[in-house]
Amino acid sequence: MIAIKNLTFGYNKRSNVLDDFSLEFKAGGIYGLLGKNGTGKSTLLYLMMGLLRPQQGRVEVDGIDTAKRDPLTLSDMFIVPEEYDLPVIPLMDYVKVIRPFYPRFSEDLLERCLANFDMDKHVNLGSLSMGQKKKVYMCVALATNTRFLLMDEPTNGLDILSKSQFRKAVITGMTDDKTIIVSTHQVHDVEKLLDHVVIIETNKVLHNAPLVEDDEPIDLEKLFIKVVDNQ
């Protein structure tokens, strides 16, 4: 479980992005983390990973404070940021570098995820387009087999076919013990994947509930607008 407890964080002394913010992500399932621009979604992901340190409060993963950067905890967590750079080396050389940090890394899962994107492991990262790099990096993220996987705008830059392939890749890598948190504005790209939806705004949790379909498929965009407009 990821427990965010009375968290306060700001990039400067004049204003805070998050102020006395609390939230829990229970273990298992795919969460959608939604909110308007500037509500702190990306910041929250970095705080969960221990890449940022809160001014007050804490983030705990299975009871361990992530700000302490405990190696055992970090070996079970992975983040796909919205923007990143990859080295100009063959993919499998990159895998050799990061694999020791993730004990459950699965090359078989990597190959199956790459196959979902019509790619294979014999590629050079320097020869790929930005969209292809995103596909490969998401496959590496899934192949780490960590119990906690955080993704920030994972479908940005992907074409329509690739977005469908992304959903297949996530399903390929999903197991009952994994928790995936997807922060996105592209709600239609992920709504069929999600088990649970969290909507935040101005240091408040506006909505935190399972995504349960009744007679009709849920339109996540309409749900978001309804929740935000009612505030």
Mention every residue, 6+ apart, whose C-beta is less than 8 A from residue 131: 157, 158, 159, 162
Q: How many residues does the chain have?
A: 231
Domains of the chain: 2-229 (3.40.50.300)
Provide the greatest CA pair distance for the chain: 51
Cα separation values, 88 from 21, 82, 99, Å: 40, 19, 18
Report pLDDT for 182.
Answer: 95
Q: Are 139 and 158 in contact (CB under 8 A)?
A: no
pLDDT tens for each residue of the chain, 231 residues long: 899 999 999 888 788 889 999 999 998 999 999 998 888 899 999 999 999 999 999 999 999 999 999 999 999 999 999 888 889 999 999 999 999 999 999 999 999 999 999 999 999 998 988 888 989 999 999 999 999 999 999 998 888 898 999 999 899 888 889 999 999 888 888 888 899 999 998 788 999 988 876 656 678 888 888 888 776
What's the pTM value of the predicted model, to 2 decimals? Answer: 0.92
Euclidean distance between CA atoms 140 and 121, whole angstroms: 10
> Quick one: pLDDT at residue 197?
93
